[in-house]
């Protein structure tokens, strides 16, 4: 071994040892913070009882310390991942959260990756160094430093780097080559410049992030959520951030990313999960879901509501006080017209309709008794007796019933007659038939936007509840005023206790603190409240949303502070979009910004070349993203007769799994084929599961449809019967494009008939 090599290895060992010593300091600080927070949480939990203010403060403290402990635990792995050496001689470490030395004027020990001072770690280049002399990427395993990669930012070094301008190229490629685990990993240590610019973009307005497969769209969206909460915490902590994903499996896949970035107060949901109390997991045909997702359904639902506002053909007879009363068509029509003119939701306008009808019935009874003999008090007594009569109330309920969204939608979709009335001139007969289902059928994800729309159209007559709430608020305000008066006058109360109250501006604010569920975070309160509006909304796979789903999300974010992430070339839902302008113009016109991700980090060039052929056959002008790496594993194809699939496919799967060792293999196939052979295939492969549950992603082999694999990634993908994928859907090429780009290492194709033309060109 040459002396020069020995010297280099010695220097490297010394550098690793120095980094290890510093990392020990950081973990020591982290342990101290955990111990301190744990003690404070225990002390808070022991402090029970007391007046409402004390209980409120205890709940707030419990929530704060619990969230802090969750955050401190989530950053255990990869606490520090980088270092900046500046021209000034200063050195900063960059990591998952900020740590400070309280004994040295709060000198930063570790910069939070979101802090402005840490941004050069992601953006500095040889051409624009921003004062950075050296950037170091640390490779660690839990609390141990394994190695490092240095970038000296001078022009000579830059000429030797990647033509894509990758920061920390060796670290990035090592991360990309690592085996998948069934859980999405954060990219905080390897964020690239084009990703950083999107992550740190301003919060106002709608930002659309268009990116092809493997460009890190999802990771960028989640890191953006963490960045916005860090930078705009005051604005967002009260209203929260909503992250919307395409399905529960996807949410499980990304579930650990935000905690690892130091954030726990984000609500993760599908569109189908945004209606409290509804579990919308039933399935239906893609065509039925597409029909439900059309904007025309707003007119259908409006008509369905109006259909429940009836008038008699002639009259309805009821018995009151042993005498007949008549609900006349003329009176009911006038009452309905007046109620509708208020433009109130159905259940609120119902009160106007009933008031008018009770007034008409009161006059009818009065005429029988002799109006000239009655005064206002007599008429009021008659009106009250009518309102208390079950027969009269029941008859009026038949004309204008109080409805819930659940009841109205269920009755609409299970009644051919009601559907025919509501969908007249909107849907064709076969489309109407596609919506019909049995009464009481379980809810599907496409039902949730319809329920949400109906909740807006119906409203809730909460007059009695509001009156009770106002009474309680008056009592709480009086109590709060008394608390403040006692605290101000009692000389035995210590000054520090008096100061705890002095931050309360007035009794109304103190009463509000008594009322608020302080033990819940903003995200948890939002999950229980359909009308909650968020400070920012992030949507992944946004191209898949239907027109009705967009209406739901826009109601959840009236400020239009949104980040929409997707790829119109990967749209598979029949109700999805191929144009961002088409979905956004009804809400923000042209006031939205487009950012593009152009570098493919996940899909190796060998696989992307195959996918690019498919993209070229699609009706789009999008270019495939540029892959940063090759693997030396060319995609392969094999033909198996249809009748031999069940017997021969297990051997093919086993051989492919052996190639990825401890990695994850996805077997993707059309839905009908998965239903037909999936269970039998799983029985013959001990490592395999049919992926219907989120935890299934952690299995060595998972059998999925292409739609279920959207947004996920695997070490290897085996695509079965691609010819059926393209034939069974109007967006078959889009589905094929998605399937081909899920793999990070290997791609195999098993077909029974001729390959689709775009694939055949790649395997000629």
Binding site listing for ATP: 211-218
Q: Which of 106, 102, 96 is nearest to 23 (CA)?
A: 96
User: At 296, is the secondary structure helix, strand, or coil?
Assistant: coil
Residues 401 and 329: beta-carbon distance below 8 Å = no
**What is the C-alpha to C-alpha distance for residues 179 and 629, in angstroms, rounded to an integer?**
15
Distance CA 420, CA 287 (A): 18
CB 519 within 8 A of CB 63: yes
Distances 76 to 8, 148, 262, 538 between C-alpha atoms, Å: 31, 19, 11, 26
Q: In terms of Cα–Cα distance, which of 182, 125, 176, 65 is closest to 687?
A: 182
Residue 241: how many CA atoms within 13 Å on its side-chain side?
Answer: 28
How far is Cα 189 from Cα 181, in angstroms, rounded to an integer? 18
Phi, psi of 322 (to 5 degrees): 65, 20
Please give the full DSSP string across 388-418, using - where no structure is assigned.
Answer: T-HHHHHHHHHHS----HHHHHHHHHT-HHH
Tokens of 220: 């960028």
Tokens 């995609």 -> residue? 635
Query: Do 366 and 435 meet the contact criterion of CB atoms below 8 Å apart?
Result: no
**726/70 Cα distance (integer angstroms):** 45
Q: How far apart are CA 763 and CA 723, in angstroms?
A: 14
Known binding-site residues equal 211-218
Residues 19, 221: Cα–Cα separation, whole Å: 31
Q: Of 257, 212, 231, 306, nearest to 78 (Cα)?
A: 257
∠ CA 305-336-448, rounded to 5°: 15
Distances (CA, A) of 179 to 184, 236, 252, 715: 11, 36, 18, 6
Burial tier of 474 (Cβ tally within 10 Å: 0-12, 13-18, 19+): exposed
* Closest C-alpha among 590, 615, 619, 589 to residue 603: 615
Alpha-helical runs (H) found in 459-604 = 463-489, 495-502, 507-515, 522-527, 547-556, 580-588
C-beta atoms surrounding 687 within 10 Å:
13
Question: Among 345, 359, 365, 350, which residue's Cα sits nearest to residue 397?
Answer: 350
DSSP per residue, 302-335: HHHHHHTS---SSEEEEEETTEEEEEEHHHHHHH
Residues 752, 642 contacting (CB under 8 angstroms): yes
CA distances from 560 to 200, 207, 535, 563, 752 (A): 18, 10, 9, 9, 48
Terminal CA-to-CA distance of the chain, rounded, Å?
Answer: 49
Measure the CA–CA gap between 165 and 158, rounded to whole angstroms. 8
Do you know the residue count of the chain?
Answer: 764
E strands present in 665-758: 665-668, 688-690, 701-704, 714-720, 743-751
Structure tokens belonging to residue 70: 């969750």
């Amino acid at each position: 071994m040459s002396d020069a090599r020995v010297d280099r290895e010695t220097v490297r060992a010394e550098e690793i040892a120095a980094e290890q010593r510093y990392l020990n300091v950081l973990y020591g600080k982290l342990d101290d913070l955990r111990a301190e927070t744990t003690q404070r949480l225990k002390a808070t939990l022991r402090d029970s009882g007391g007046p409402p203010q004390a209980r409120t403060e205890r709940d707030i403290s419990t929530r704060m310390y619990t969230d802090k402990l969750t955050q401190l635990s989530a950053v255990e792995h990869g606490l520090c991942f980088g270092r900046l050496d500046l021209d000034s001689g200063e050195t900063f470490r960059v990591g998952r959260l900020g740590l400070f030395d309280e004994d040295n004027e709060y000198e930063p020990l570790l910069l939070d990756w979101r802090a402005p001072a840490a941004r050069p770690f992601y953006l500095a280049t040889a051409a624009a160094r921003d004062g950075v002399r050296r950037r170091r990427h640390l490779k660690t395993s839990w609390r141990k430093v394994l190695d490092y990669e240095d970038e000296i930012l001078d022009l000579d070094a830059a000429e030797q780097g990647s033509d894509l301008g990758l920061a920390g190229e060796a670290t990035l490629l090592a991360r990309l080559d690592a085996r998948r685990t069934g859980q999405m990993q954060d990219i905080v240590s390897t964020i690239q410049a084009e990703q950083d610019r999107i992550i740190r973009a301003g919060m106002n307005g709608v930002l659309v992030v268009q990116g092809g497969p493997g460009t890190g769209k999802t990771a960028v969206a989640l890191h953006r959520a963490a960045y916005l909460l860090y930078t705009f915490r005051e604005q967002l902590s009260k209203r929260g951030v909503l992250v919307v994903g395409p399905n529960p499996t996807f949410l499980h896949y990304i579930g650990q990313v935000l905690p690892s970035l130091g954030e726990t107060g984000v609500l993760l949901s599908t569109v189908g999960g945004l209606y409290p109390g509804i579990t919308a997991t039933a399935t239906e045909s893609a065509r039925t879901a597409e029909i439900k997702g059309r904007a025309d359904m707003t007119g259908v639902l409006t008509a369905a509501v109006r259909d429940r506002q009836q008038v008699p053909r002639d009259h309805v007879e009821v018995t009151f006080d042993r005498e007949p009363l008549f609900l006349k068509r003329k009176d009911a029509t006038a009452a309905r017209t007046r109620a509708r003119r208020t433009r109130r939701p159905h259940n609120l306008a119902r009160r106007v309709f009933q008031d008018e009808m009770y007034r008409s019935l009161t006059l009818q009874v009065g005429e029988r008794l002799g109006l000239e003999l009655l005064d206002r008090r007599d008429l009021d007594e008659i009106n009250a007796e009518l309102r208390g009569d079950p027969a009269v109330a029941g008859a009026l309920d038949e004309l204008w019933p109080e409805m819930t969204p659940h009841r109205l939608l269920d009755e609409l979709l299970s009644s051919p007659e009601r559907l025919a009335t509501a969908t007249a001139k909107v849907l064709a007969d076969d489309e109407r038939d596609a919506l019909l289902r049995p009464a009481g059928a379980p809810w599907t994800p496409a039902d949730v936007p319809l329920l949400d729309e109906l909740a807006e159209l119906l409203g809730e007559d909460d007059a009695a509840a509001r009156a009770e709430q106002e009474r309680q608020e008056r009592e709480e305000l009086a109590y709060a005023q008394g608390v403040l008066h006692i605290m101000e006058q009692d000389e035995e109360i210590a000054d520090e206790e008096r100061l705890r109250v002095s931050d309360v501006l007035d009794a109304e604010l103190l009463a509000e603190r008594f009322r608020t569920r302080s033990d819940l975070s903003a995200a948890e309160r939002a999950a229980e409240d359909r009308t909650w509006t968020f400070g920012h909304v992030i949507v992944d796979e946004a191209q898949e949303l239907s027109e009705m789903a967009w209406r739901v999300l826009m109601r959840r974010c009236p400020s239009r502070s949104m980040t929409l992430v997707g790829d119109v070339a990967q749209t598979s839902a029949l109700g999805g979009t191929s144009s961002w302008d088409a979905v956004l113009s009804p809400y923000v016109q042209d006031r939205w910004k487009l950012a593009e991700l152009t570098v493919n980090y996940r899909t190796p060039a060998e696989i992307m070349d195959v996918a690019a052929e498919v993209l070229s056959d699609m009706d789009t002008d999008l270019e495939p993203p540029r892959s940063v790496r090759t693997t030396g594993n060319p995609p392969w194809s094999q033909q198996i007769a249809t009748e031999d699939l069940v017997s021969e496919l297990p051997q093919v799967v086993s051989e492919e799994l052996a190639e990825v060792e401890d990695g994850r293999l996805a077997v993707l196939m059309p839905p009908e084929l998965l239903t037909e052979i999936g269970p039998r295939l799983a029985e013959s492969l001990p490592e395999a599961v049919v992926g219907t549950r989120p935890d299934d992603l952690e299995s060595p082999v998972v059998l999925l449809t292409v739609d279920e694999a959207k947004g996920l990634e695997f070490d290897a993908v085996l695509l079965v019967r691609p010819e059926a994928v393209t034939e069974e859907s109007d967006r078959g090429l889009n589905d094929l494009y998605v399937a081909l780009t899920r793999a990070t290492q290997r791609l195999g194709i098993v077909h029974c008939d001729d390959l689709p033309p775009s694939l055949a060109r790649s395997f000629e």
